[in-house]
Amino acid sequence: MRVVVSLDAFGRWRWELHGPEGLHIAESCGTFATYSLAVLNADEVCRCIPDAPIEVEVLPSRIAAGPTTRMTEAFAQVCSALRKQGLDAALAVLNRPLAHRYSAVYWMPDAQRLVNVGFFDKQGDAVPSNLQTVAYNQSFCQFAIRDGQFRTENSSCDARLDGNIYQGVMNSYHAVPMVSMQGQVLGTICHFDTAARALADEDFELLRLVAEVFVHCLPKPSPAVAAVPPLAPTTGPGPG
């Protein structure tokens, strides 16, 4: 059996339980604001059912009330790539229509660092050594985690980053945190580039939606690590 998670016409998440031959067995009694909440509810309900499903499928559907066709199709393509080929392939599909060179997923195993677990470079290079692990208090990610998002299309002209050592080096950065069903920040997903580049609001909202799906690809921290709150942001952001 499998749980199929989808969005309705109003941008609310719902789930259905399908049998081995696609037979409809059960469904959510209501709708949910986020993908994670829908999956959590499905897990709670299915624990009471013998042979509870272990597979979760994201059904390509409408993303929100009035989305463009491109956004809906892009979400479906990203989810398909994730299921069939994994995180890096899904990032490649997500990045494909953008001008930004890089897209990445960073996992926060503890409060001191962010570790790259997914990476795409338009030029085909592997993740640079200085981006494989980034100190939390030297990252851009700390601001996305603190504020729930972070967007800058030209850091050299962004007064919020005055004094940061990477201002004008990593010029464009757009990110959202990745939050577990229990409300814990596990990492971030971002588009970035050394060149100054804007990101359309539509593509940023797609990034936020994809984060709800990609968060389930992140390793789970140990209980001791999970109890450590993120450090307070400081100057000196890097791309992570």
φ/ψ region of 5 (left if φ > 0, alpha if ψ in -120 to 50, else beta) reads beta
Q: What is the pLDDT of residue 222?
A: 53
User: Per residue in 182-193, is it b (16+ CB within 10 Å) or e — as a string?
Assistant: eebbbbbbbbbb
Nearest Cα to 239, choosing from 98, 116, 86? Answer: 116
Strand ranges across the sheet with 150-152? 133-135, 113-121, 102-110, 185-193, 172-179, 150-152
C-beta separation of 173 from 239 below 8 A: yes
Q: What percent of the chain has pLDDT over 90?
A: 37
Per-residue pLDDT tens over the stretch 145-154: 988 899 999 9
In whole angstroms, give the CA distance from residue 194 to residue 97.
18
Q: What is the pLDDT of residue 66?
A: 45
Its pTM stands at: 0.70
CA 123 to chain centre: 22
Average pLDDT value for the chain: 80
Per-residue pLDDT tens over the stretch 106-138: 999 988 999 999 999 999 999 988 889 998 988
Q: What is the pLDDT of residue 68?
A: 65
- Position 182, amino acid: Q
Q: Which two tokens stand for residue 222?
A: 């140990």
Q: What is the pLDDT of residue 49?
A: 66
pLDDT < 70 stretches in the chain: 1, 9-11, 20-22, 34-36, 40, 47-68, 221-240
Q: What is the pLDDT of residue 126?
A: 93
DSSP secondary structure code for residue 127 in this structure = P
Domains (ranges, CATH) in the chain?
Answer: 2-58 (3.30.160.160), 69-226 (3.30.450.40)
Q: What is the pLDDT of residue 22?
A: 66
Cα 223 to Cα 1, 75, 111, 228, distances in angstroms = 30, 32, 13, 9
Q: What is the pLDDT of residue 176?
A: 94
Q: Which two tokens stand for residue 34?
A: 């986020």
Q: Which two tokens stand for residue 76?
A: 């479906």
